[in-house]
Structure 1
């Protein structure tokens, strides 16, 4: 699609991760001008992509719409066969208390599967897609300030200022700059609640609706598959591609293979962070695995053995924000991905939420011809806000409830485990039973961001667009 240089929107994307690159590619394909500002150097940007990505069906459905994605999944990803839930008890072998298989007939009905993939391969694929369509990517651009600026067509644009003093001006800025987002602060300031929501130590700060805590901690450890395969006690974890989740006292450890060479363990601590969790050195660099072992004393010996195989652990603190808006009041800033949502770290929907946001944005701005997109920008951004405010609470609620559920302490965890045990004998279960077990998953897995946009467009386009041709597209 050809661009009209004077009439197309110029998007400035801050952050070259999954959310930023996916948005950049889709908006460029919709005919707009896009520049991505990434603070790391080009070499760092491609090299520092550790970890893995969970790709549930609501994400794989979208991913497979991108060129080359099916081949990527076939060659680089592992298909997940289901979840296994284990209860750890005082250093004894853990008890299998529940399971959630992903039967072929249900996955066929969904039209897509659940995958695990190393982060570096998905990131590399998205980076190559952006480059192939002419997205401008500026590496080494560390953003220090964002200012509203006078613009044409009565729009207020944005000027992004880098640490070096360089400036980039655009019509709309996308904040895809992660958990330590500079762009989120603009939305928080607009709500006049920045001080309460940014300080999870404050006694008088408001408690978000989603969780009775304002922040929690997670750690990730990577282990070469070869080390696990060579140990007869650990090798069974590589069989059948299940996703084992071990539950302890206030913590859980999720484990899975993300590719031929990568196995990951994710510790989630479903309680407010301890004082030593906020050590900046630990948060900015690798931390000895002894810090993880302190939290898992009651765990299955095999889990602790796996942890000791990791060379280091990487920690994150997630602060919970209850943001009612994802778009600035002047319609010149939109914040996406980990920068805005409170989908739990180490959860199922982190990357999926970012992908849905990117596809929602890209599809909305493909509805209005680039030549009049500036005139329709506020209307389309309002549509984005409406769609995401309907969708995002469901993902946030599901992921946050999982953090609490998997980390329950006695006696509540006994009721949880009794409920889990009902899933151990589902072979031959009737449709009503399967529907009850699968209901929550289906509602989240079956969502298609493109369909949500099309439905919104059908209902509202004639009322808000500036051009009848756009409304009829």
Structure 2
């Protein structure tokens, strides 16, 4: 359990998704007061929580540390393998199984579950921890001067710190940067997120084996400018399906549709040439969500000029849609952020901690964003010599009875992943406090002591003259 802050202050968190609820949990753990403002009602959120989500070890260990292990295990499965196939033909390329010692080194596990299940766990934990969550509350403006947010009702709410956890094209992000950077960035692909009822898959002899994968492996299809991914989820009898495709269809609406409402035929038309089992899965799928896949440049400022407003999660470092580390980065942000504010003794520290948060997180997040972009390119590599070499190397490893990630370009991708998964967010915040935070506090105390001594000397001199 994190130590409690000596000074407790008020936080307004804009956004009640993974980032916002994780931030609320983490801040309540160290004693601060938190109100979360979520624009969608509870019923709207349940409609928008489409598809599955993967939690890699670097985030599952944080959630376990917060006391959520039992709740997560009840709604998730533990996966320890991935299987690679060819998108256009269904050819089996090979498998990688996580070694137990590597997973032990990371301190966590790969968990697969429904997005709605994860959000419900985080929501329940935030409420149990004492946070207030106001659903159906729309923020129309935010300012670090105050600090304050204005709601669509005209109501103004004040706090000591405003946290923007409201995703890409965030209101708080725009207040800090003066523009909507993600909105202006071009998009390269479309990402579809949907589910397939387990009963329907079991009824088809070709699809039933997917539900019996050894080690509950995630299946990844590598294609020519296309890719797909499927995995079994936990308590819900559903199979998650992710699809990345180029925006080739004419007349396709140019906006994100996380709330669903899409015609399933649209996703089918976007498939292109694909293996028969994928086509069957799409025909059985639920109404999908769709979002544009953008490669957003790093945002320069996460903290406002007043040092009282900050952005976290997708608002600070947007990842390509469907990334393995999408939810993980949001939880890591929350863990680091709250760990810093566990040391709060004086309001003068607020601005320092906010800037320290950006300093601690921006290189890590930029590295993760870059890796996720590379992973997506690896999955969707255009047909040609580089793609042929990639597949040839993996086939050779499989023929030798080895992991597909045993050499060449695939091995480089794997080494990057291992480094990402072993990261410990709270340890990084603790290191900063020991190396820099305490130093600053001691320097500040020495300055105050010297000033006090000088004041005593001046007072003594005045008395002598009198």
Is the structural similarity TM-score above 0.5?
yes
CA distance in 1, matches of 2:115, 2:87: 29
Residue 126, structure 1, aligned to residue 115, structure 2: no
Q: For residue 395 of structure 2, what is the aligned residue in structure 1?
A: 421
Residue 244, structure 1, aligned to residue 240, structure 2: no
Q: For residue 199 of structure 1, what is the aligned residue in structure 2?
A: 184
1:43-101 CA-to-partner distances (Å, cap 9, x unmatched) read 4445643322210010111110122x221232211111211121133xxx411224322
Equivalent residues of 1:98, 1:422 under 8 A apart: no
Q: For residue 61 of structure 2, what is the aligned residue in structure 1?
A: 61
Residue 347, structure 1, aligned to residue 323, structure 2: yes
1:94-151 CA-to-partner distances (Å, cap 9, x unmatched) read 11224322122322232321110112222112111111122111121111111343xx
TM-score w.r.t. the length of structure 2 is 0.86
Aligned CA RMSD, in angstroms, stands at: 2.7
Decide which structure has the larger Cα Rg and report it: 2
Which residue of the other structure, out of 162, 168, 181, is the alignment partner of 2:170? Answer: 181
5 Å-filtered alignment, 1:369-388, equals: 369=345, 372=346, 374-388=347-361
Q: For residue 211 of structure 1, what is the aligned residue in structure 2?
A: none
Kindly state the Cα deviation for residue 436 of structure 1 after the two structures are TM-superposed.
Answer: 6.4
Pair 468,113 (structure 1): closer, same or farther in 2 beyond 3 Å: farther
Q: For residue 16 of structure 2, what is the aligned residue in structure 1?
A: 16
Residue 73, structure 1, aligned to residue 38, structure 2: no
Residue 164, structure 1, aligned to residue 153, structure 2: yes
Kindly state the Cα deviation for residue 423 of structure 1 after the two structures are TM-superposed.
Answer: 4.0
CA distance in 2, matches of 1:445, 1:409: 28
CA distance in 2, matches of 1:195, 1:128: 32
Say how many residue pairs are matched. Answer: 435
Kindly state the Cα deviation for residue 274 of structure 1 after the two structures are TM-superposed.
Answer: 6.3
Pair 224,136 (structure 1): closer, same or farther in 2 beyond 3 Å: same
Q: For residue 382 of structure 2, what is the aligned residue in structure 1?
A: 409
Equivalent residues of 2:397, 2:406 under 8 A apart: no
SS at match of 2:102: helix
CA distance in 2, matches of 1:198, 1:437: 29
Pair 140,132 (structure 1): closer, same or farther in 2 beyond 3 Å: same
Equivalent residues of 2:50, 2:288 under 8 A apart: no
Pair 181,273 (structure 1): closer, same or farther in 2 beyond 3 Å: farther
Equivalent residues of 1:145, 1:161 under 8 A apart: yes
Pair 215,172 (structure 1): closer, same or farther in 2 beyond 3 Å: farther
Q: For residue 436 of structure 2, what is the aligned residue in structure 1?
A: 460
1:373-416 CA-to-partner distances (Å, cap 9, x unmatched) read x2211111121111112211111011111111211221132122
Unaligned runs of 5+ in 2: 447-466
Equivalent residues of 1:224, 1:262 under 8 A apart: yes
Residue 31, structure 1, aligned to residue 31, structure 2: yes
Tell me which moved more, 225-234 or 175-184: 175-184
Kindly state the Cα deviation for residue 17 of structure 1 after the two structures are TM-superposed.
Answer: 0.8
Pair 175,426 (structure 1): closer, same or farther in 2 beyond 3 Å: farther
Kindly state the Cα deviation for residue 231 of structure 1 after the two structures are TM-superposed.
Answer: 1.3
Equivalent residues of 2:11, 2:33 under 8 A apart: yes
Kindly state the Cα deviation for residue 24 of structure 1 after the two structures are TM-superposed.
Answer: 0.9
Which residue of the other structure, out of 239, 242, 245, is the alignment partner of 1:263? Answer: 239
1:237-269 CA-to-partner distances (Å, cap 9, x unmatched) read 111211111122211011111124121111113
CA distance in 2, matches of 1:330, 1:281: 33
Q: For residue 460 of structure 2, what is the aligned residue in structure 1?
A: none
Pair 94,61 (structure 1): closer, same or farther in 2 beyond 3 Å: same
SS at match of 1:346: coil
